[in-house]
Amino acid sequence: MSTPNLSLLTASPSYQRRAERLTAELRVALAKLDRRQLFEWGSDAARMSGHVIVRRGLRLGKTVVFLGRGAAAETSEAIDSVRQGNFARHVKARGEAFFDTVRATSKRVRQRATQFASMARNPEQLPEAVVTVIAALVSSGGLDANGGIPDLDLQFGIEAHRSIFTHSIIAGTVVEGSLYSIATLVGMTYRHLPSSHDPLWDTIDRNRDRFLAAVATGASAGIAYHLLIDGTLQPGTYHDLPAHLPLAGHGGILVANAAAEAVDVPMKSETFRQARHRKA
């Protein structure tokens, strides 16, 4: 039996030298970051996280108001139809309206799918499309929505499952805020690299916001999907709400958060556009 060529299993000298150069340049850049810059970076990250939670909170509030008004209107119309003896006609009309809504939603989904397919066929946008899909699958826990970012509360014990901190817009806020922090830190570090540095750093800096925005977009979509499934097909209760609610109430909170997170998906580009223009 021939002996395997171990040289094939180790990095070549040229790759080793490049890795050493990258490491040395990174150390130089990090050493030049002073406390003032790190404090400003932390303050900026906190400011952006606050902005993101307010943005999502406003959307959640609008969603709750919309759903509440819709439910109140449906209840009022149903009561009036009973009084007038037209309940059967009312049910039929609402059923037709429901299917119209389903068809319209299906059409929008197909349009989005078509847009995504065209993006995936574009060689320049294909990497972003792949990153977005992977982030969505990882954050949602897959098509069955078991796992992912919302179910990280399981790491703290089964009693903590379905925490409001992970099964709400808070989870998406933490993810987006963290990715923004990474983007700005990478930008600060890049500006302190030696003037003559490895071109890989230029590639990383040039594409950092683009791909981190793709991760944030996919993560947001995945979280929204997970919350929607939990609020409809996999009903359950929160463990840490301050007030007792029926199962339907817990489902309503999950669906409202899912809707607010889904509506927020297109907002990621603006967040990372601010990361690009942030001054060190």
* pLDDT tens-digit map of 50-59: 888 888 888 7
Residue 8, SS3? helix
Residue 149 within a domain? yes
Residue 9 has pLDDT above 50, yes or no: no
Residue 148 within a domain? yes
Residue 52 within a domain? yes
Mean pLDDT to the nearest integer, 22-43: 91
Residue 106 within a domain? no
For residue 14, the model assigns a pLDDT of 81
Residue 78 within a domain? no
Residue 175 within a domain? yes
Distance of alpha carbon 142 from alpha carbon 222, whole angstroms: 8
Residue 227 has pLDDT above 70, yes or no: yes
Our count of domains for the chain comes to 1
Residue 184 has pLDDT above 70, yes or no: yes
Angle, to 10 degrees, between the axis of helix 199-232 and the axis of helix 247-264?
Answer: 150
Give the domain range for residue 190: 34-56+122-277
Alpha helices in the chain (DSSP H): 13-31, 35-84, 87-121, 126-140, 169-190, 199-232, 247-264, 268-277
Contact 68/77 with Cβ under 8 angstroms? no
Residue 65 within a domain? no
Q: Which of 155, 152, 164 is nearest to 239 (CA)?
A: 164
